[in-house]
A and B are shown apart, each in its own frame.
Chain A
Amino acid sequence: MAIFKLEETKKAPSTINGKLRWILDNLVSTPVDVAFSLVILFLLYIIIPPFVEWAIINANFAGTTKADCTGDGACWVFIIHKIDFFIYGFYPEEEIYRINWIFGLLIAFLALFKYVGKTYTTKIAIFSLFPIIAYFLITGGSFGLVEVPTFKWGGLTLTLVISSIGIVTAMPIGIILAFGRQSRLPIIRSLSILYIEFIRGVPLITILFMGSVILPMFFPEGMTFDKLLRVLIVITLFQAAYVAEVIRGGLQAIPKGQYEAADSEGLSYWQKMLIIILPQAIKVSIPNLVGNAIGLFKDTTLVLIIGLFDLLTMVGLTSADSHWTGFETEGYVFVAIIFWVFCFSLSRYSKVLEDRLNTENK
C-alpha cells in the first residue's frame, strides 16, 4: 500500500506561454509556415509603404482649391472641401446644425441608456424617445423648423438613417416570423415559410425596384408615397426575412428542457417565448445578427439605383464638379474608411455584447 502527498500547484514555465513561443508555434514551425510568412511579409512590403507615401507623406492637406494639390500624393483638400456633401448630402446648409444636433443627441441618449436606464421601463422610454426627437429634427415642418424634403437628404446621414431604421425595425418583425415558422398552427407556419423563402430568393435590388417603380403603379391616381419611406419599408421587410432565419437558428439551439421547464412553471406561450426562450436564442445569434446588420449597412449603397444619394453616391457627384475633377480615388478611399470604421465598430460591439451576456463563467 502506498499513500501520496498532495502536490503543490506551480506556475506554468515561461517556455509554454509568451510571445516568442507564439511566434515559434504559429509563424515558423514548419517549412510551409516559413514560406507563407515570407510571402505575406513581402506582400505587406509591396502594399503598405507606397500607400502610406500616397496617403500621408506626399499628400496635400491644406488649401482651398485644386491648384493647392501640388504633390504626387492624395489630395485630401478635395475631401475637406466637400466634407459637407459626404456627410449631409443636399441638406440645406443653414439647417445642417439640426443633423449635428441629432448626432449629439444620439451620444447623449446612449449615455443616458447606459447610466440612467436602470429598469426596463426607463430603457424602453429612452430608446423610443430618441427616434421621435430625431424624426422631428431631421424632417422639420413643425416646432418652427423649416421642412426639408427627403430627396434633399443624402451622404452619410442618409446611409445611417436607412441602415439604422432597417436594422432596428427588422428585429421585431424577424422575431415574429421566426416564431411563426416554428408555430404548431399550419397556416401561420406556411405563411411564414412562404414569406421568408420568397424574400430570400430574390435580390435586394429587385425588391427595391419593385417597391419604388412597380408598387406605385397599383396606387390610386394622385396618391403619392415618399420615396425614402418606400425604401425603408422595403429594406425592413427584406432584412426581416434574414433576421428570422438567424433567430430560428438560435431557437433551435435552445434545449427542449427549457421549453418544458417554462411550461411546467406555468408560463403562458408569450411569457415562455419572450422571457425564457428569446433572450437565450438572441444571445446565441448575436454574431450572425451583427453580421446581417453589417451586410445591410453596406447594402444601403444600392439605393443609388432608385435615385437616392447615399454616402457612396457622393463620390461620383462630388468628383463630377468641374473644379474638382479627377479625385475619385480620394473619394473612394475616404468612403471606404468610413464604411470600415462603422462596420468594424459594429463587429467589436458584438464581441462586447457576447462577453457581457456570457453567464457561464462570470
Chain B
Amino acid sequence: MDSIIKIDKLHKWYGDFHVLKNINLNVKEGEIIVVCGPSGSGKSTLIRCINYLEQFQEGTVTVDGIELEDDVKKIKALRKNVTMIFQQFNLFPHLSVLQNLILAPRHVKGATKKEAIDTAMKYLERVNIAEQADKYPNQLSGGQQQRVAIARGLCKNPKIMLFDEPTSALDPEMINEVLDVMVELAKENKTMVCVTHEMGFAKKVADRVIFMDQGQIIEENTPKEFFENPQSDRLKQFLEQIITD
C-alpha cells in the first residue's frame, strides 16, 4: 500500500537553530505511529509540519498526495483531511461545545446545520460527553475538554489524526478517559501520528514507535522491539528515565 504521509529529507530552522535534521518518514494508511523523545527534540515541530502549522525550509512533505507548500488552496485541501489535537485542547471558549463541533463541517465542508449537528452529536456520544453539548468549554474539566477536542477533530471525518501530547496538560486522574477514547479510535483504520509519553498507549496500539533526539529520528521499531530491545544508548537512557516501575 502507498504511503499517506511521505516525509523526505526534511530540514527546518528556527532562525539559526536547526530544529529538524534530515527527517525521512513514511506512514501507511491506517498506521499508528507514536513519536517520543526528550523535550526540545523536535517531535511537536515534526507533526506540526504535517498539517503545515509550521513551514519548513528544505525537503518535502507529501500528505494524501498533496505536496505541502505555501499555497492557500493546497493547504485548505490538506486540512480537510488532517486534524490535530493539541496539548492545551484549544477549544473556542466563546462557542458552546456543539458550536465548536459544527463549525468546520458547516464552514469548511459545506454541510447543512442539521447534518452538522447530527454528526456532532454522534461523535459526542462516542466520546461519552453528549450531555455537555450546550455547555461552554471552560465549564468542563480538562479531560472532558480534550474529549470534546477529539470529537471536534472527528467531525470532519479526517483520514489522518495528529496528536500533540494530548494528555500532558491533564491531571493524572483524567489521563485514562482520554487514552481510552484514543485506543477506541486506533481500532478504526484511521492514520494516527501521536506525540506522547504514554508508553502504555504505545505498547497497546502503536504499529511503530519513533524515538527523536536533537531534531533527528534516532530509532524506529515495532513497540515490542522498541521497548524490549532498544539499540541506541540514548534510547536506553531515555527509557530508563521514563519507565520508573
Contact = CB atoms under 8 A, between A and B. Distances in A.
Interface of A: 255, 257-258, 260-268, 271, 275-276, 279-280, 283, 357, 359-362
A362 B136 contact: yes
Interface stretch (B16-24, B28-36, B78-86): B78-86
A267 B104 contact: yes
Contacts of A266: 76, 79-80, 104, 108, 156
B231 interface: no
B94 A261 contact: no
B92 A258 contact: yes
B10 to A, nearest CB: 19
A86 B8 CA distance: 76
Contact of B51 (A264, A276, A357, A361): A264
A250 to B, nearest CB: 12
Contacts of B136: 359-360, 362
B93 interface: yes
A255, A262, A276, A359, most chain B CB atoms within 10 A: A359
A260 B85 CA distance: 11
Given A264-B84, A265-B108, A267-B104, A280 B90 contact: no
Contacts of A258: 90, 92
B141 interface: no
A283 B94 contact: yes
Nearest to A271: B107
18 contacts: A255-B90, A260-B86, A261-B86, A261-B90, A263-B79, A264-B79, A264-B83, A265-B79, A265-B152, A266-B79, A267-B104, A267-B108, A279-B94, A280-B92, A280-B94, A359-B136, A360-B138, A361-B139
B88 interface: yes
A119 to B, nearest CB: 11
A27 to B, nearest CB: 36
B148 to A, nearest CB: 12
A52 to B, nearest CB: 47
A263 to B, nearest CB: 6
B127 interface: no
A361 B137 CA distance: 10
Given A264-B51, A264-B83, A276 B92 contact: yes
A359 B79 contact: no
Contacts of A268: 72, 76
B53 interface: yes
A261, A266, A361, most chain B CB atoms within 10 A: A266
Given A265-B79, A266-B79, A283-B94, 6 more contacts: A257-B90, A261-B92, A266-B76, A266-B80, A357-B94, A359-B138
